[in-house]
Amino acid sequence: SGGKGVEEEKDEVLELHKDLMMLYPGVEVVGGRGDILETATLTVGDGDTLQIGGVSLSVMSVPCHTPGSVCFVLHPADGSPTCCF
């Protein structure tokens, strides 16, 4: 098949997180509740809200790729949703 296995992909993600954490000390690595992500410094789940400056992100649980998969809905200062990622 030639594709990467789940464990190989997980190892690559963890290495990327570790690299980012070294480049940007104090950076938050956000992971979905229900996933085992040893580099996560913050876990979030459905209905949680994150504040980044004047921007609000609401968390939506979307278990598909992993049991703890989440999407974020961006809310500008006026409160209207503008995008989901």
Sign, CA torsion 15/24/69/72? negative
- How far is the first Cα of the chain from the last one, in angstroms, to the nearest whole number? 30
Instruction: Specify the 3-state DSSP secondary structure of 33.
Output: coil
Query: Is the predicted pLDDT of residue 71 greater than 70, yes or no?
Result: yes
What pTM, to 2 d.p., does this model score? 0.72
User: What would the pLDDT profile of 22-67 be if each residue is shown by its tens digit?
Assistant: 888 888 888 899 888 788 889 999 999 999 888 889 999 998 878 8
